[in-house]
A = this chain, B = another copy of it.
């Protein structure tokens, strides 16, 4: 057997980029992208991506170069997921909600060679490049034209190297795209959302995103030619790799610049949407909307991840006709790698029990090698009792190569014992399903007891008047830390709910040490661009409060 080694025909690099060539053959006449009045076929998308890749090559973009983009879910954003790697380069999508200072830092850190800018963000980019260190050249800018939004460019000092459409037009549709040399060539650079620390540059390779893309199609049993509504920002971990996945199954991508509940319901009906993704905040928006007058005509599959969804929101959304799947992934995994694989017999359970089961993150997807919850000190698996907290660890082909220019952070989580340490705290249930209890940094230690903020939140979410809730640690001279809850109330309710009522409600349902000692009723909770509540900010606020008291902001 020993003479049998990999050879060129079987060791060609795995890559999700080639899905586009195939889509042009199989689905050439079928819609690839629909955006307002614009509609492309897979043939057109194929040609446009090759043209853009050809132009990128001809202006000097090369293997290993980083190409950045700041844009919402418009067609150009989708095309760049193919065109940039087709030029051999690395795609870096930037979160549109970042401030100018952070964008400036990220562009410098990534050493971007080119920056595509949506008209909406011209001022932001202008400010960002003004913050570049002296004598540092910023990347040339390319303006993405858009009929919907006219450039907000007011400053005469900003110079665009070219426009997106002009680069497409100039390119050669017969361009022989540049394939990765091996499985581990980088394809994407994604900065983490920074809920707990400063953004880190996650680098993924072609093999990793090939695996997670196929894995996600199997895990959610995608049919051929689904209609996919882009409610999940593509800048968020490359839209969980679904831009490539839709090319693999010839789906129709419904692009949208921004959305609210009526927009989503309108598009679902207009385009017969079959699939969408989003953080639990999207589910909340859909199920709390007063515009809903009738349930969905056809079931819409919605995959949620990014935060543990409260059971009440899950059951409300399902009652409207959405088929909710719940999974778990990180920027570092390129997509969803743990999912709540549903058992047939569970469908017979009462709604609250179904929701409780579905709120668990679940089991590894088939493409992942292993998942476990381990004791952070000893590294051994925790008891499968559903209550012993441990750190969630993963191994599998879709785990990132590492953090850009941060060997210390990379080595810390990508260990030689073969596990990737997620920094998420969870439990393993007796049936082998894991449930996230918290980010490591969100665990509250009160009187020596480790308590999960998420567990307190899930009780708060069952309080009828509460819309959203987040619990963080508040320093306490006696206990070390105590739970502090920030909540918003539903519009429909009269807002007479008092903090005291909320505390009493929790007392009846939680062990004493888990009951929030502080409750803050507020108008809005601070969130990241992807809808995650920014607990770091709330923690700072709790810290600034000083001693225990009940307050209204």
Contact = CB atoms under 8 A, between A and B. Distances in A.
B344 A30 contact: yes
A209 to B, nearest CB: 11
Contact of A9 (B1, B6, B29, B395): B395
A418 B9 contact: yes
Nearest to A65: B1
A227 interface: no
Nearest to A343: B26
A208 to B, nearest CB: 6
Contacts of A8: 395, 414-419
Interface of A: 1, 3-12, 14-15, 18-19, 22, 25-27, 29-30, 64, 90, 184, 186, 203, 205, 208, 211, 214-215, 217-218, 221-225, 248-249, 341, 343-345, 363-364, 366-367, 369-370, 394-402, 404, 407, 410, 414-420, 431-433
A12 B217 contact: no
A418 B10 CA distance: 8
Contact of A420 (B10, B364, B367, B410): B10
Contact of A203 (B4, B18, B370, B397): B4
B363 A22 contact: yes
Contacts of A3: 402, 407
Contact of A10 (B5, B208, B432): B208
A186 B11 CA distance: 14
A223 B221 contact: yes
A400 B6 CA distance: 9
Contacts of A410: 4, 7
Nearest to A418: B8
B369 A5 contact: no
B1 A186 contact: yes
A19 to B, nearest CB: 6
A366 B22 contact: yes
Contact of A218 (B9, B214, B419): B214
Given A4-B203, A9-B415, A186-B1, A26 B344 contact: no
B19 A366 contact: yes
A4 B211 CA distance: 19
B395 A1 contact: no
Contact of A224 (B221, B364, B420): B221
A203 B2 CA distance: 11
Nearest to A27: B343
A343 B397 CA distance: 32
A71 B15 CA distance: 38
Nearest to A217: B218
A278 to B, nearest CB: 22
Number of copies of chain A assembled together: 2
A6 B186 CA distance: 11
Nearest to A214: B214
A395 to B, nearest CB: 5
Given A19-B366, A30-B344, A399 B10 contact: yes
A152 to B, nearest CB: 34
A401 to B, nearest CB: 4
A396 B7 CA distance: 11
A404 B367 contact: no
B363 A397 contact: no
Contacts of A9: 394-396, 399, 414-415, 418-420
Contacts of A222: 218, 221
Nearest to A403: B4
Given A217-B218, A223-B221, A4 B366 contact: no
A106 to B, nearest CB: 16
Nearest to A345: B29
18 contacts: A1-B64, A1-B404, A6-B184, A8-B395, A9-B394, A9-B396, A9-B415, A10-B397, A12-B397, A12-B418, A15-B369, A22-B364, A22-B366, A26-B343, A29-B345, A218-B222, A221-B221, A248-B366
A208 B10 CA distance: 8
Given A10-B420, A22-B366, 16 more contacts: A1-B90, A1-B404, A4-B402, A5-B401, A9-B414, A9-B418, A9-B419, A10-B205, A10-B398, A11-B397, A12-B418, A25-B431, A25-B433, A27-B343, A218-B222, A218-B248
Contacts of A18: 369-370
A184 B2 CA distance: 11
A7 B218 contact: no
| Leading 6 A-B pairs by shortest Cβ distance | A9-B420, A25-B432, A4-B401, A8-B418, A10-B399, A26-B341
Given A9-B395, A12-B397, A415-B9, A367 B214 contact: yes
Nearest to A63: B1
Contacts of A5: 184, 401
A416 to B, nearest CB: 6
Contacts of A19: 366
Nearest to A247: B366
Contacts of A217: 218
Contacts of A396: 9-10, 12
